[in-house]
């Protein structure tokens, strides 16, 4: 069946009866329905004549209904195993669902198969989901008597006088719905992991246990997803960071703070050197700014008003200072250090600036989400007439940088403000409209399709967000281009125009790679740790066959190092086969084996990663080959 099918139906029609009559067996591919702008469950009985759009699993809205149903079945299974467990929340998420429980820390990974088995029993029972509307106060009493303190907390914050309750079998939950008509329509699911999660993401509140799972309407699709999940685990940058000795995070020193090891530092320095070179070619001036500044600067900029919960604020000599969460204020101070004319614009300032942000501990994730990171930051100071051309220039730079690292596919969002919440944003309506149109025009000129995302703008202006798609098709945050007409006005960032008067500049905040750690983590996962030669921390390992070949191996090493190739010699103390396996596991691009034959001919026996033995060639030939790969930044890995 297609993703959507429509029908005009009369008052009193039961949707599940319509669906079950679509063929002799009942069309089990239909999961939910849309009436107007509302998504409803198939148990709905129409209150009036309606045009109904039936939705299958291919629809994002239907997937959410399906997976949210799975979370309720899982919660019922947990309560069956642990009757005293207290329920948190259980939403559908992008690729599955989760539910939070207070079980006193009793759950372990060994419990997941047990919970799954009970879920299968509940599915076989084909329990009906029954929706009931109840007075809020009555619901508070009911959940209080059941000891469901977290549900009571949620209810006490609801302003509506009535709430909806869902029941299946002996299980009751507070929920807006909708759900599948019954548990029997849940066909394929898997519980995938167990994690800790603070109640409502607040570190001052109890730590709950979160069970993650996923659900599909077909066993084959579930298997494909689980296979991809296993591949993702093998590519996890946290695992690769340990296996390849790239970085570490030490809880005793502070969560979310990365320590770069020698090999990881080589990768990072290679990325940063390339970044620096490309920016200088495009007219950017590199600057450095301090890590702290007086809080008054961040108050004037508006950050303390809109962003304080993510900032580190501390006292120095009875005055508040801020550990900078971003670099823009420092670049503004450099700009304002002298008078600027329209003839000076645009001015492009770039900095690999280290910043710190107060992220909640529950959100920290390897290099992807940290509290201290270096951002490939830049700010463009320009006139309104220069905006579109400058944004196009940033897009072109981002495209070139991403393609060089092997990212060919990406998704683009235009993040704009939520028109219903103007209090969350600074600036006038006409300025916002002009800014949003300027970014959209730049994307149109580059013929880049984009999705308009309401409510995703930062407080000072709209932005373009580019998400990289890796080898598994996963999206990662990449380049960001942010329009800002607010900070220049707040901080008096001006230029002298042709008319001799002072005018506020327009600022463009932008990154083309994002946070360095996050970008390198993305690259690691994209290549599963087998980095292209130009990025690999060790590009060549030289393996002498015997101890008497070590002098020749040292000569090969010297030649490689002189040619700008990152190389090492691995001593002959261990067997050759063991050393080859070890370097293969370390994902070194080239292994050169040198024995008596190679020493006599002045050659090297070449083994290439993922290819194997390539025979013996002269050292000159090999150096020319690898230098070609490095210089061209070949992404062959």
- For 141-178, write each residue's pLDDT tens digit: 999 999 999 999 999 999 999 999 999 999 999 999 89
The pLDDT confidence band at residue 25, using thresholds 50, 70 and 90, is very low
Q: Are residues 560 and 595 in the same domain?
A: yes
Residue 261 falls in the annotated catalytic set = no
The mean pLDDT of 58-82, rounded to a whole number, is 95
- Identify the domain boundary among 192, 226, 260: 226
Q: Are 64 and 92 in contact (CB under 8 A)?
A: yes
Residue 607 falls in the annotated catalytic set = no
Q: What spatial distance separates the first Cα and last Cα of the chain, rounded to whole Å?
A: 42
Calpha distance 33→349 (Å, rounded):
52
Q: Collapse the DSSP code of 79 into the 3-class scheme (helix H, G, I; strand E, B; otherwise coil) and give the result.
A: helix
Q: Are residues 84 and 8 in the same domain?
A: no
Q: Are residues 388 and 500 in the same domain?
A: yes
The whole-number pLDDT of residue 456 equals: 84
Question: Which residues, at least 6 apart from 341, have a Cβ–Cβ distance to it below 8 Å?
Answer: 495, 496
Q: Which of 68, 86, 357, 371 is catalytic?
A: 357
The pLDDT confidence band at residue 1, using thresholds 50, 70 and 90, is very low
Q: Is residue 567 part of a domain?
A: yes
The mean pLDDT of 233-260, rounded to a whole number, is 93
Question: Which residues, at least 6 apart from 517, have a Cβ–Cβ distance to it below 8 Å?
Answer: 247, 258, 367, 368, 370, 373, 374
- For 188-227, write each residue's pLDDT tens digit: 999 999 988 889 888 789 999 999 999 999 999 999 999 9
Q: Taking the mean position of all CA atoms in its chain, how far away is CA 579?
A: 37
Is it the case that residue 299 has pLDDT exceeding 70?
yes
Q: Is residue 534 part of a domain?
A: no
- Identify the domain boundary among 194, 226, 258: 226
Q: Are residues 74 and 37 in the same domain?
A: no
Q: Which of 168, 375, 386, 539 is catalytic?
A: 375
Alpha helices by DSSP H, listed for 405-485, are 429-445
Q: Which of 100, 111, 173, 377 is catalytic?
A: 377
The whole-number pLDDT of residue 409 equals: 86
pLDDT cut 70: percent of the chain above it: 98
Q: Is residue 236 part of a domain?
A: no
Q: Are residues 114 and 142 in the same domain?
A: yes
The whole-number pLDDT of residue 28 equals: 63
Q: Which of 86, 175, 328, 587 is catalytic?
A: 328
Q: Are residues 410 and 456 in the same domain?
A: yes
Q: Is residue 636 part of a domain?
A: no
Calpha distance 489→486 (Å, rounded):
5
Domain of 25, in residue numbers:
4-56
The pLDDT confidence band at residue 18, using thresholds 50, 70 and 90, is confident
Residue indicated by tokens 């198969």: 113
Q: Which of 179, 210, 324, 509 is catalytic?
A: 509
Residue 509 falls in the annotated catalytic set = yes
Q: Which of 237-246, 348-357, 478-487, 626-635 has the lowest mean pLDDT?
A: 478-487
The whole-number pLDDT of residue 3 equals: 42
Q: Which of 63, 79, 379, 566 is catalytic?
A: 379
Is it the case that residue 23 has pLDDT exceeding 60?
no
Q: Which of 113-117, 306-310, 404-408, 622-626 has the lowest mean pLDDT?
A: 306-310
Q: Taking the mean position of all CA atoms in its chain, how far away is CA 602?
A: 49
Domain count, the chain: 4
Q: Which of 463, 518, 566, 583 is catalytic?
A: 463
- For 362-373, write each residue's pLDDT tens digit: 778 889 888 999
Element at 538 (helix H, strand E): none
- For 41-67, write each residue's pLDDT tens digit: 888 888 888 888 989 898 999 999 999
Q: Are residues 303 and 353 in the same domain?
A: yes
Select from 130, 134, 143 the least CA-distant residue to 162: 134
Q: Are residues 72 and 14 in the same domain?
A: no
418 or 168, greater pLDDT:
168
Residue 379 falls in the annotated catalytic set = yes
Is it the case that residue 444 has pLDDT exceeding 80?
yes
Residue 328 falls in the annotated catalytic set = yes
Q: Is 413 exposed, middle or buried (0-12, 13-18, 19+ CB in 10 A)?
A: middle
Is it the case that residue 26 has pLDDT exceeding 70?
no
Distances (CA, A) of 517 to 40, 256, 367: 43, 11, 5
Q: Are residues 49 and 67 in the same domain?
A: no
Residues making up the chain, counted from first to last:
637
Is it the case that residue 460 has pLDDT exceeding 80?
no
The whole-number pLDDT of residue 13 equals: 86
Q: Is residue 531 part of a domain?
A: no
The pLDDT confidence band at residue 484, using thresholds 50, 70 and 90, is confident
Mean pLDDT of the chain: 91
DSSP per residue over 110-138, as a string? THHHHHHHHHHHHHHHTPBPEEEEEEHHH
| 225-257 burial: b if 16+ Cβ within 10 Å, else e | beeebeeeeebbbbebbeebebbebeeeeeebe
Is it the case that residue 2 has pLDDT exceeding 50?
no
Residue 185 falls in the annotated catalytic set = no
We report the CATH number of the domain holding residue 607 as 3.40.50.800
The whole-number pLDDT of residue 16 equals: 83
313 φ, ψ (degrees, to nearest 5): -115, 135
Largest separation between any pair of C-alpha atoms in the chain: 93
We report the CATH number of the domain holding residue 163 as 3.30.980.10
DSSP per residue over 274-339, as a string? HHHHHHHHTTPEE----SEEEHHHHHHHTHHHHSGGGSEEEEETTEEEEE-S-SHHHHHHHHTTS-
Calpha distance 81→371 (Å, rounded):
38
368 or 338, greater pLDDT:
338
Q: Is residue 120 part of a domain?
A: yes
- For 598-621, write each residue's pLDDT tens digit: 999 999 999 999 999 999 999 999
Q: Is residue 308 part of a domain?
A: yes
Select from 130, 129, 126, 154 the least CA-distant residue to 140: 154
Which tokens belong to 511?
A: 């990154």
The pLDDT confidence band at residue 435, using thresholds 50, 70 and 90, is confident
Q: Is residue 242 part of a domain?
A: no
Q: Are residues 32 and 167 in the same domain?
A: no
We report the CATH number of the domain holding residue 322 as 3.30.930.10
Q: Are 33 and 42 in contact (CB under 8 A)?
A: yes
Q: Are residues 36 and 109 in the same domain?
A: no
Q: Are residues 507 and 601 in the same domain?
A: no
């Amino acid at each position: 069946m297609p993703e959507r099918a429509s029908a005009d139906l009369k008052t009193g029609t039961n949707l599940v009866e319509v669906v079950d009559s679509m063929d002799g067996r009942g069309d089990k591919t239909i999961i939910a329905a849309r009436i107007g702008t509302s998504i409803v469950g198939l148990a709905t009985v129409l209150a009036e004549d309606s045009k109904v759009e039936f939705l299958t699993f291919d629809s994002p809205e239907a997937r959410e209904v399906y997976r949210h149903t799975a979370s309720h079945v899982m919660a019922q299974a947990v309560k069956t195993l642990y009757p005293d467990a207290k329920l948190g929340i259980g939403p559908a998420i992008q690729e599955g669902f989760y539910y939070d429980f207070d079980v006193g820390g009793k759950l372990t990974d060994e419990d997941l198969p047990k919970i799954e088995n009970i879920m299968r029993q509940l599915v076989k029972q084909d329990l009906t989901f029954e929706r009931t509307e109840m007075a809020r106060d009555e619901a508070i009493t009911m959940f209080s008597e059941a000891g469901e303190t977290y549900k009571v907390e949620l209810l006490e914050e609801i302003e509506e006088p009535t709430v909806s309750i869902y029941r299946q079998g002996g299980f009751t939950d507070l929920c807006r719905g909708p759900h599948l008509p019954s548990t029997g329509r849940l066909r394929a699911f898997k519980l995938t992991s167990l994690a800790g999660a603070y109640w409502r993401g607040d570190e001052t509140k109890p730590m709950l246990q979160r069970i993650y799972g996923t659900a599909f309407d077909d066993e084959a699709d579930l298997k494909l997803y689980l296979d991809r999940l296993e591949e993702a685990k093998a590519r996890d940058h946290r695992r690769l960071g340990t296996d390849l000795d790239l970085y570490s995070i030490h809880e005793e020193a502070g969560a979310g703070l990365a320590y770069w090891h020698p090999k990881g530092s080589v990768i990072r320095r290679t990325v940063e050197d390339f970044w620096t070179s490309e920016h200088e070619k495009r007219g950017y001036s590199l600057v450095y700014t301090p890590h702290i500044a007086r809080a008054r600067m961040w108050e004037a900029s508006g950050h303390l008003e809109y962003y304080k919960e993510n900032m580190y604020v501390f006292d120095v000599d009875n005055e508040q200072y801020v550990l900078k969460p971003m670099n823009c204020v420092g670049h503004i101070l450099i700009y304002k250090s002298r008078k600027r004319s329209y003839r000076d614009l645009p001015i492009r300032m770039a900095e690999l600036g280290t910043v710190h942000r107060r992220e909640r501990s529950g959100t920290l994730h390897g290099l992807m989400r940290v509290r201290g990171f270096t951002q490939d930051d830049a700010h463009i100071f320009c006139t309104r007439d220069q905006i579109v051309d400058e944004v196009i220039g940033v897009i072109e730079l981002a495209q070139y940088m991403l393609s060089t690292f092997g990212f060919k596919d990406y998704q683009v969002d235009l993040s704009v403000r939520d028109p219903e919440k103007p209090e969350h944003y600074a600036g006038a309506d006409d300025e916002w409209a002009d800014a949003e149109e300027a970014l959209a025009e730049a994307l149109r000129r580059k013929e880049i399709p984009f999705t308009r995302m309401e409510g995703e703008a930062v407080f000072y202006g709209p932005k373009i967000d580019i998400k990289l798609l890796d080898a598994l098709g996963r999206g990662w945050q990449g380049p960001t281009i942010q329009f800002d007409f607010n900070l220049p006005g707040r901080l008096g960032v001006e230029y002298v125009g042709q008319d001799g008067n002072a005018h506020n500049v327009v600022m463009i905040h932008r990154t083309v790679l994002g946070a360095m750690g996050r970008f390198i983590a993305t690259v690691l996962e994209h290549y599963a740790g087998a980095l292209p030669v130009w990025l690999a921390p060790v590009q060549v390992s030289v393996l002498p066959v015997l101890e008497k070949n070590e002098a020749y191996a040292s000569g090969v090493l010297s030649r490689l190092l002189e040619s700008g190739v990152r190389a090492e010699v691995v001593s002959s103390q261990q067997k050759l086969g063991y050393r080859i396996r070890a370097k293969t596991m370390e994902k070194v691009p080239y292994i050169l084996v040198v024995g008596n034959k190679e020493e006599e001919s002045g050659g090297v026996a070449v083994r290439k990663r993922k290819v194997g033995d390539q025979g013996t060639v002269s050292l000159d030939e090999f150096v020319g080959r690898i230098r070609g790969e490095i210089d061209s930044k070949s992404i062959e890995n």
